[in-house]
Structure 1
């Protein structure tokens, strides 16, 4: 068995050799020296593995050729077959008799193999090198440069891993660069070592992370897509039936739209979703007439049932302030609705009236019985237990102020010969108190304006309205004697004092306000209510007294 030495030859490979680069040589003697043939660099030895059985016994004559075939290169040069240079299995040098005829082939240096991945020079023959053929670290026997073949790729499991993309293998963006790097590492580590697999653990983790990320993303997109579809195209959640029997009071604020109302009802447990309520409201022909206020409903109603009940007067539980009510009556209603002690709201009004939103023209009037009289506007109010009296009063004052501004009382008062809107509001309250129907409010307002003239030939500037006396007394009597009326000294008693009372005597409604703004011009000075529903008007005192006699006769007859 042989080893390649590291001695320099006379020249490595001659360019004139017809087989230059394919293993030929000119047979020059090589000097036995321990340095490289290419520059004298120390070289590494090639440990060799035991010979394979097909090589045969090295002591026996062999047929020409390395593998039993004829090779013209060796025959043409007169050299024995390549295998005959090995004299035996386990020896450290060749038999000189077999190599001597060719001039000592053991001393001929081989040129460096450009394909050798180790870029190492052979060690010169004859050097004292350890025999590694019989060890576990042995490599296959060396071959001449022209016979060397690229090392076959190890047939191991990494073939499947190498097909994976670099991203899943835990690498970078260049899969070819990683493949070259792995190949270079295998060549540097040697042919006999099993290649290292491509980061299997990281590959599995990376795949799992990608699956989770993409899976979670797709799941989230799917969920929100489903919710979007349900919200846009799916049927809204809704209860069935007309409720479970449990009543609940719901306050709908002024100006609330369908969606806001639906949200209120949903929060109170009446309907299952606001969307269902909006759909039912739009489907009902009378849905647009739904108003704000307090409604008594049931929990778990279908949206259609809730809409139908809210459109019915049966569900309305608002605090209703009728036209012509005095403040004393309104305060009592508020106390009852809030569940507070009687007189609570009246005391709040007296104490806080300056902070409840009155307009400037309604402030600082003398001799007023109640500064808020005329500003608790007749309407429907959402008043429920738990509210404060001050909040309810503010709401009423706000509605009154808005209505007066809408009707333009400030601009039109002086055109009617009045000092301002405060007097106009007082006229409207008188028309409201004495009138018996909406049809006669204009005539009633004309009576007031005509009697206010100081030189009128009928009353000479006195109004003489029973309603003003009843207001001071906080009563509603009709059987009043003229002597009693004229003896009571009070600014509100129009039988005693000339002109208008200090302020409104009730809370007039819109029709009475419009009557005061646009009175008739027929010359009416007197009026009388015959049946409590209609009024008759006259221009002279004689006509009026005749109607009074007729009225007294009818009363005696009906007793």
Structure 2
């Protein structure tokens, strides 16, 4: 609607309009409402405004408390008029904007034109005007904050309450929470259940978060500052632990923990960090006690007074190893040799039952009361592990040799060579002499170490008579390799046998300690032998 005459705006309400309200009146005249702005002060009129020329304005309204037929009076009889009349030129009376706004019934009809709605006809006296039924207002959207306010009173109140913007109790939808759930309404019980579930979820999340932080914090502090688990005391019983070559402190700790010596690897590592002697732990087999403190285990592995070590050097023959074990254990001479001949030491099938070459050079723990078979088994076990790591079986196939032949060549390299560089060259000489069609030595190795092994001696000066000693190990008499190893070689000798140097050398001789000369010429070799003999004569005393 607009406040001007009929024009482009929307049309005014008509009594038959379904949205026509009880406060809207139609008619030519209406009683004026007395206005009392600011305590009855004087009113100021606004200048007249021209309204759509050619259309007469509506006449004035009667005053004096009279009531129009068929219409409710705007005010009672006792209210005197404040305005004498409406301006016939179309002007509006001045209204105080801060006073109470005029009721719709007091506003003049600005649609006094031929095309406007006709004025209502007066009804006969005594006939009551029928009011149209108010139409149902469209439901208002509720905010969740206001939609739940009637639950504040509690669920124990049986009195139906009307939802804000919804139907009254007993109307469509019924009391809130009593009927089926609508698109926006929820029952109090369901709301409380949802609120309770949300609180429970939040509490569980917070509890899990706090618990997780506490757990990781405790673990961090424990790892950084707490002592690692450890046994107390010097332990009990007896157990043997093997420390392999090149093992780190952590590796040793793992070995000890697996054997039940220490309680934790970290505890052993911490104790090793507090004891400088831990760095002197050597490879070998140690006899320790079960459930020892880490500090006690380190003391036992490093203190000569408490550790009775059996050390087997590289290149020792089996006979010498047996003698050493007998002496170390306080046994009668020959006891260990008999044990080796009768016992099952765990030799591989390709060893032909010969322990020579499998009494691995290392450090072992053995004290009085230890059986010689126990020590021998430890040595064989260590040799099997090392040879497997060196891949001696597959390496032998590449050289068209057997593993036992490789072990035999390695024992010759160990006996004839002095260092790694010499080991590889000595291995090359052996392979060159074993080649078919060799006319320099006719397949014979001619090595003094084999005669010494056959005779059970260790002489540097081998006589011509010695070269005629009857033994299958005498490589001066028999071509090819000896029947088996002549000592227990080192890891370096094994590697040299598997990876010989490249060269055509056929001869070599150590003219003096630390100096070994290699050559492919027999004449050159004879000169080198003469130099060796001269050195021996000069240093014989």
TM-score, normalised to structure 1's length? 0.48
Please state which structure has a larger fraction of its residues in helix. 1
TM-score, normalised to structure 2's length? 0.50
